[in-house]
Amino acid sequence: MHVTLFGATGKLGLECLQQCVEVGHAVTVLVRSPDKLPATLRDRITVVEGDGLVAADVERALPPGTDAILFAVGVDEKTSPPDLCTDVTRHILAAMRREQIPRLVWCGGGSNLRPEDVVTFGARFVRWFSETFLTHRHSDKVHQLQLLDDNADLCWIGIRPLQMKAGPRTGRYRLGYNAFSGFSSISFADCAHAMVKMLDDDTWVGKAPVIQY
């Protein structure tokens, strides 16, 4: 499968990259700083230097024959521009329509509640905490999710991790609309594992399940 990965130099993106290569996908990445990529992987992938906020750069990173897109862009509360994820996603969706790219798998956040969620006190706490202390990240993810809902005719799959942390890839986690709280967590490696599996699994098309242990 020919996959383009956005956010390849972040903690989640690096895990997605490593796992895509491991299973034999042909990977293209769009990065602003290619030197941040592991030297052991650079010769095994196609590297496009550019910025996801530039529509022409996004288009260059999606060559003919692209089968799927992985979105692992992270938001830094202090340094990221407003609506980073939303604006990059807007360029991706436009390219998907233009080039008829079949699938997008994206990573959101647990503070974005969905109608299917079991909304407990813990879920409300996660949302309150994000709205209060992670305002930049939360608002961007809200806007990104609304944009995706507005493009529901395209094939996209979302995943909503709670606290992501360093840890091993176990392949054992809950994926769905289970109750969650501020104590729920997942490793970057296992979140990436689920996202890579979604590249050719239709179970969650048009949905954004929570992933947690």
pTM, entire model:
0.96
**Does the pLDDT of residue 110 top 90, yes or no?**
no
pLDDT in tens, 51-108: 999 999 999 999 999 999 999 999 988 899 999 999 999 999 999 999 999 999 999 9
CATH of residue 145: 3.40.50.720
Domain holding 177, by residue range, is 2-212
Task: Return d(Cα 85, Cα 118) in angstroms, integer.
Answer: 26
Rounded CA gap, 68 and 84, in Å?
21
Q: How many domains does the chain have?
A: 1
